[in-house]
Structure 1
Amino acid sequence: MAAHSEQPRMPVVRDVKDFDRGSGNLLERIIFNNRLLVLLVCLLATVFLGYSATRIDINANFERMIPLDSPYIQNYLKYKKDLPGLGNTVRIVVENRTGDVYDPAYLEVMRKVNDDLYMIDGVDRSWMKSIWMPIVRWREVTEDGITGGPVMPPQFDGSAAEVAKLRDNVAKAGIVGRLVALDMKSSMIVVPLLDSDPKTGQPLDYGAFSRQLEDKIRSYESAKVGIHIVGFAKIVGDLIEGLKSVMLFFAVSVAVATVFVYLYTRCVRSTALLVSAAVIGVIWLLGLMQLLGYELDPYSILVPFLIFAIGLSHGAQKMNGIIQDIGRGTHKYVAARYTFRRLFVAGVTALLANIVGFAVLVIIDIPVIRDLAVTTSIGVSVLVFTKLFLIPVALSYTGIGARAAQRALEADREMAQGQSLLGRVWERLDALTGRGWAIGVTAAALLVTVASAIVMQGLRIGDLDAGAPELRPDSRYNRDNAYITRNYGLSSDQFVVIMKTGDEGCRLYPALTRMDGLAQLLRADPAVQATTSLAETVRFTTAAMSEGSGKWMTISRNQSITDGAMSAAAIATPDITNQSCSVSPLVVYLRDHKADTVARILKTSSDYARVNNTPAGAKEPVEFLLAAGSAGIEAATNIEVGKSIVMMYLAVYGSTALLCLVTFRSVRATIVALIPLVITTILCKALMVWLGIGLKVATLPVIAVGVGVGVDYALYLLSVQLACQRRGDSLRAAYRRSLDFTGKVVALVGMTMAAGVVTWAWSPIKFQADMGILLTFMFLWNMLGALMLTPALSYFLLNPRSARDEARVSPPLEKKYV
């Protein structure tokens, strides 16, 4: 890279006839001697991939959001069919705003909502629960034994007598706080979902499913009736719906970044070219994603933003060289070839750093993150063509306005002489190569880093807020979730422990008592609202069969008594165990799914399982397996994120260090380049603590992106500095030369990329807003860290001792030198 940057100034060629078209390397000759063909190929690719881009689907998949290789998730998937309603479930609450659930008019609305939900594609109708579904039953003990039936009377007609029966049945069924609100003003419909559409066999379209909920179910909402909907499918549906407004933010990002580039070039046609090339890169990416079978989901929708920002900011580098050459009088065609020669290796190196930053995410065992890594790497690879080939070739035709080129050269002269504001800033920065300033800046950076390292200890893995942290706190979903939490004793945050036994083993005394022991242990946790399990059901049924005596509220050692209770319980609650009585869920209802809550419940359950699981081959095997339910799946995801962060650090910093070693051929220079990146990572994690952002699937990629993109700044500055030092320049002169040659571009890149993502902060999707804030911080801080820490650290690591001694007494650098 340095060799290309510091070769002697190329001769001014005013007439293209005087230029040797056979000069340059083979690739340059192929590209520029066939310019029309290159443009035609790019045009055809844009048309073809643009058509493919219009056909890309926007969707999400439940199983692609979770770590499929996690042993906990493997347990859930293995016994998924035996655990109906304990995975991907939607809950709809129908509220009577003017009365209670026993109002006949309300019950009629409730019936219509129930029937409409039943007919929506993707609903697992066999396990749908509500007071209108026959699977929800009541039971009682009479002189003739245990009797029961569906909660909703079979001949219900809304009459006072039938309403009275319903009231009695609800009380007998024990569903108050579960399917009927504690204040008796609303009731719930629990809707388990299938993974695929039974008609088409395709994965469930969450966007379409959510729209049906809004069109068919939310339409019942009125002054008298309220509708509240929660569940993973509704979260994803709302995120997909929010993506429409995200497109507006994309347009704003384009506009803001365009302004930055124009302020740099002061040329309308070249700015339009750079913006168009960046947009073409996005079009190619979306087209390739569609051809390769990828979909846009709430996470990968961020990729086009990044690709546009990277493409536009890197394209400005090409403009920098062409402006200088054209300003000196060189023909636009020759200037384009000169720029290609100077910056091709540097551009490829910078793009490789970007690709590495994204590609390392494939080590994370979460499919949606792996897709993000692959698609973003594809997008950056596309920039090799749009940035390194298309832009120089197009500029060889369009060139840049003469006035803009002259203005840029004049600005460079003023800057070099310290007459402009930027020039005065450059003078302050090259002073950082001196002993006093180097010590001061390094010490300040160390203090800030230590303070941030202490703060970042408070970073938690997982969600830090109730409801759906991906959405704004005042979003409709989070308001619905708050309503349900207030009015129901059992939340939608379920942690499920699976008890596995031999066939018919779940009815045996040892298995039931161990399950009951775990339930009692978990109920002691203040974050647990309640638990439901086969053991608890058997205890209550045994007491009910003994005239309701509390003395019998136990698990009997008499197997015949337990068998009778099991039979009665299975009829009333068919989902407490599977048909072979070998898989039984212990459902733990949590007050929230915050990171600390989920981690604590997971530890309690795993510790109990480790002590109480019987060894393989035991006569009466009992095994407690973790975990299912929304909170159980989240616990597994948090564990994977926690493991992945360490591997990701090793991969991203290891590969970046290797790339720097190859580029700089110096271990010390590599350390100088990496230290600002490490500091930025620490500061970013401290910022996450201050902003209340947890480390999770949505925020994990930010660190890799920040390192992969942030190392560009060091590549630009250090490559020139090292080349100057190796030819004999002092550290201060070498760093000032690197500022003059690449400093303005480094500042432009940082500002442009930050401008491209800062608008995300106003997104209706909160996790995108969080990513926008963090990325903006990392882009700007990486830029400032490179500009300020590179000279300070170079004083200690890239300055011979004799040069350091000389710098203590040497006069300031003369302006004429630079």
Structure 2
Amino acid sequence: VFLPGIVVVLGTIWTLGLMSLLGFRLSVVSVMVPPLVLALGSSYSIHVLNQYYRSARVHTEDKMWIAASVAHINRTISLAALTTIIGFVSLVSGTLPQVREFGLATSFGIFFCGLLSLFLFPAVVPLLKPPTARERDRVLEGHLSRSLQTYSQWVVKGRYVILAFLILVALVFGLLLPRVHYQTDYTAYQKKSESAIDDYLYSTRTFGGFVFLYITLTAPEGESNYFLRPKVLQRIARFEEVLEQDQDISYLSSFSAYIRFMNQTMTGKRTIPERRAPILLLSRYFRSIAVSPGNRQFAEALVNQDFSRLTLTLRVYNSETNKPMDEKRMNALIERLTDRMQRLLDADTQPVLWGDSLAYLSISEILSRDQIKSVLVSLVLILAVTTVAFRSIKLGLFSLIPIFTGIMLTISIMTLVKIPFDVVTVMFTSVAIGVGIDDSIHLIIQYRHQQGNIAQALSMAGRPILLTSASLIAGLLVLLLSSFLPVVYFGLLISLVLVTTTLGALIILPAILSLSS
């Protein structure tokens, strides 16, 4: 019982040490590495233990049967570890550095656990008390093994019903796929009970947000004092008046706005003066504000020294929810601003819309692109590995069917319950491919060992498949305790996809193998 724990603890310690040597820092993504290594690494020891009890020889001093039992299972463990590593390594093809580090670190952890299961485990087991005949028989002919033999007959008889269910899952997935959405609002990453989020949302409601956009205008050919011309400033003022009507713009600051304010103070009219002389006077008053270093920086952010470049500052938020803008609403605002810039501003001033928040508008596109890329990489590599291992392209493709079924079911469910893809949950498909393929590999290897006898293959492989899946799911559910919602969703999605891929390996894959034979 303690040996699997020793294996995964050592593997996790080695992984954290290697992360430190490589300069990886714990982030909201890489913080999942230790629990994942602990959970995923235990499955290899369970496979070795299962074979150890199956091959147990009682009343003998010869320990060579232990080496034979490990040799019998080492191919399954090696393939399972390799495919899991491929699933995580495929994340290295992504754009975000935190995701790449997470994929690489977890891959090393899986490698260490697989290595320890094949070498440390067999070295320690001979020092322990050998299994009794009763313990061996419980594994060979226990209630679970007998139930699997009975159930295998139902799978073969109901293979057409199972195939129809698979087609139905694919149709539902196709209908729900367009409804998948990506979450880029970082305030939604925390639980609602977090006081910091409550304080931030309160401040957003009170001050109208903390997200800024900027519109910079440049004089034609860099002409000095261009933005002191009355007609130029009046046109900019009309543009600003239109922007002030937009409910999502809570604050607007510019040189033109200050000129109007100062003119109102002096004349009672909040307009741009018709003549150049008053504008020159007001501009000098404006420059007098910039005497202190702090005010100078503020003034120069609005207009440069020779009045050849002018910048408008906009503070924006979601006026309907009083929260920061999500990507969809920000894109709509950008479209409105771009349209108004083209209609109301002089094209010769080369208006440019910019701001740090615009960089986040491509996050969904990056996440979607990285997801597709990593999934394709993992699928191609895993198909190549399984095809070579089984010496059959057909069996290699069959091994992927439970994976596709599990991913389609999981994405359909997450769409229905409105769980979004984000920087963390977007990784679950690649991880699911690498982890979920293990059950298919184990069953197909037993299927070939039993020369196509599905009932016997399920009897031999079903027990370790169920035990390892239960162990993995139990280990991954610890992620639900996180206060960071993407980590909670990731643990939930991986657990759900493991349930569905396990059922796929024990129900759908045998039915497909039966149909093919």
| Matched AA of 1:499 | T
Secondary structure of 1:402's counterpart equals coil
Q: Deviations over 1:196-242 (max 9, x none)?
A: xxxxxxxxxxxxxxxxxxxxxxxxxxxxxxxxxxxxxxxxxxxxxxx
Select 2:471's aligned residue among 752, 755, 758. Answer: 752
Displacement of 1:370 in angstroms is 1.5
AA at the equivalent of 2:332: R
Residue type matched to 1:377 in 2? Answer: S
User: Is the Cα–Cα contact under 8 Å of residues 56 and 65 in structure 2 kept in the other structure?
Assistant: yes
Is the 1:430–1:791 contact (alpha carbons within 8 Å) kept by the matching residues of 2?
no
Match of 2:84 in 1: 354
The aligned residue for residue 321 of structure 2 is none
RMSD: 3.4
Q: Indicate the SS of the match to 1:584.
A: strand
Change (3 A) 1:589 1:396: same
Aligned to 1:587, the other structure's residue is in SS state strand
Match of 1:472 in 2: 191
State TM-score, norm by structure 1. Answer: 0.55
Sort the Cα spacing of 1:601 and 1:564 in 2 relative to 1 into closer, same or farther, 3 A: same
Choose from 432, 448, 459 the match for 1:740. 459
Shift of 1:460: 1.3
Q: 1:577 to 1:360 in 2, by over 3 A?
A: farther
For 1:585 and 1:336, locate their aligned partners in 2 and report how far apart those are by CA, in whole Å.
Answer: 76
Counterpart of 1:98 in structure 2 is none
Q: Which amino acid aligns with 1:743?
A: G
Matched, 1:540 2:260: yes
Alignment identity in percent? 19
* Structure 1 residue 460 corresponds to structure 2 residue 190: no
Q: Alpha-carbon deviations, 1:363-395, whole Å to 9, x = none?
A: 221121122122112222222432222222222
Question: Relative to total residues, which structure has the larger helix share, 1 or 2?
Answer: 2
Q: What is residue 376 of structure 1 aligned with on the other side?
A: 106
Q: How many residues are aligned here?
A: 499
Alignment of 1:206-605 (within 5 A): 271-327=1-57, 333-398=63-128, 401-403=130-132, 406-415=133-142, 420-434=143-157, 437-463=158-184, 468-486=187-205, 488-492=206-210, 494-497=211-214, 499=216, 501=218, 508=227, 528-534=248-254, 537-538=257-258, 540-541=260-261, 543-544=263-264, 547-550=267-270, 552-553=271-272, 561=279, 564-565=282-283, 568=286, 571=290, 573-574=298-299, 576-577=301-302, 582=309, 584=311, 586-591=313-318, 592-604=324-336
- Preserved contact between residue 432 and residue 792 of structure 1 (Cα < 8 Å): yes
Residue type of the partner of 1:682? Answer: M
SS across alignment from 1:286: helix
Change (3 A) 1:413 1:715: closer
What SS is found at the alignment partner of 1:692? Answer: coil
Gaps of at least 5 residues in structure 1 are 1-270, 800-818
Partners of 2:283 and 2:215 in 1: CA distance:
21
Quick one: which of 667, 672, 678 aligns to 2:393? 667
Task: Structure 2 unaligned segments of length 5 or more: list them.
Answer: 319-323
Counterpart contact for 1:455–1:686, Cα < 8 Å:
yes
Structure-1 separation of matches of 2:483 and 2:45: 30
Say whether the 8 Å CA contact 1:334–1:396 is kept in structure 2: no
Deviation at 1:706?
Answer: 1.2
Distance 1:413 1:694, change over 3 A: closer
Q: 1:318 deviation in Å?
A: 1.0
Q: How far apart are the structure 1 equivalents of 2:510 and 2:379?
A: 21
TM-score by length of 2: 0.85
| Counterpart residue identity of residue 321, structure 1 | Q
Q: Could you tell me which residue of structure 2 aligns to residue 622 of structure 1?
A: 350
Helix, strand or coil for the counterpart of 1:312? helix
Alignment partner of 1:639 is 2:365: yes
The match for 1:685 is: 411
In 2, distance between residues paired with 1:689 and 1:622? 43
Which has the bigger relative contact order, CA under 8 A and spacing at least 6?
A: 2
Contact 2:439 2:465 in 1 (8 A): yes
2:423 maps to amino acid: V
For residues 125-136 of structure 1, what are the structure 2 equivalents within 5 Å?
none
Is 1:651–2:377 an aligned residue pair? yes
Q: Is the contact between residue 56 and residue 136 of structure 2 (CA under 8 Å) also seen in structure 1?
A: no
- CA deviation map 1:482-531 (0-9, x unaligned): 32234x14213x152453747678963799789778767766665x1424
Residue 635 of structure 1 deviates from its aligned partner by 2.1
* Residues 322 and 490 of structure 1: CA distance in aligned 2, closer, same or farther (over 3 Å): same
* 1:718-757 CA-partner distances (Å, limit 9, x unpaired): 12224544xxx4xxx2x22321222111111111110001
Q: 1:101-142 CA deviation, whole Å, 9 max, x = no partner?
A: xxxxxxxxxxxxxxxxxxxxxxxxxxxxxxxxxxxxxxxxxx
Q: Do 1:468 and 1:477's aligned partners in 2 also have CA atoms closer than 8 Å? A: no
